[in-house]
Amino acid sequence: MAKLYFRHGTMDSAKTMNLLAVAHNYRQQGKRVALLKPRLDDRFGGRVIASRSGLKKEVDLLLEDDTTLDPAFFAELDCALVDEAQFLSTGVIEQLRAVTRTCNVPVICYGLRTDFRTRLFPGAQRLLELADSIEEIKVTCQFCNRKAIFNMRLIDGQPTADGEQIQLGANESYAPACHVCYVERLPGVIEGHAGG
């Protein structure tokens, strides 16, 4: 049976570049791969998956919270690659899990694990619960040389814990941070939200 993979990393860890490289490798071998992403991710255009490195490809399927996946879409595929999986609903994640069984197609999901307040995204939580393989894509903290584990939201270059959970942005809006640098710049956020 095919597997469900969750490859997670902070902002700026080259998740999308990794996804596009995997897609390229499958296609170079003459294999069929589909690219999927949530419709709400329109930073680089509605039907495009793009890396800040300049790589980009057109999306084969846009996903909504209430999308019902058609097994026929996956029937002839060798692999499905999903970008920004943290934004998917738990129902869509569960359907992707089912695709690995019913269609015998591996599904590789890329995304963030937690938001800027260090809380799991619902899609990421369900992936952590259901995935056969969980892999971290690592990057160093923007402020030191330790491994980044958190996504720090920035407004006018200053760290903040304010705002909605989902706010699309790139380097101007987020920075990868280690625990020490996160706590130094946003004291009390982790401890202050311990109970939810």
Catalytic site residue 172?
A: no
> Counting beta carbons within 10 angstroms of the beta carbon of residue 62, is it exposed (0 to 12), middle (13 to 18) or buried (19 or more)?
middle
Binding residues: 83-86, 141, 144, 166-169, 174, 178, 181
Instruction: Give 48-65 as a DSSP string.
Output: EEE-TTS-EEE-SEEE-T
Q: Which residues are paired to 158 by β-bridges?
A: 155
Binding residues for substrate: 166-169, 174
Binding residues for ATP: 83-86
Other C-beta atoms lying within 10 Å of the C-beta of residue 80: 26
Binding residues for Zn(2+): 141, 144, 178, 181
Q: State the catalytic residue, choosing from 58, 64, 76, 84.
A: 84
Other C-beta atoms lying within 10 Å of the C-beta of residue 28: 8
Closest CA to 81 of 43, 42, 59, 107: 107
Catalytic residues: 84
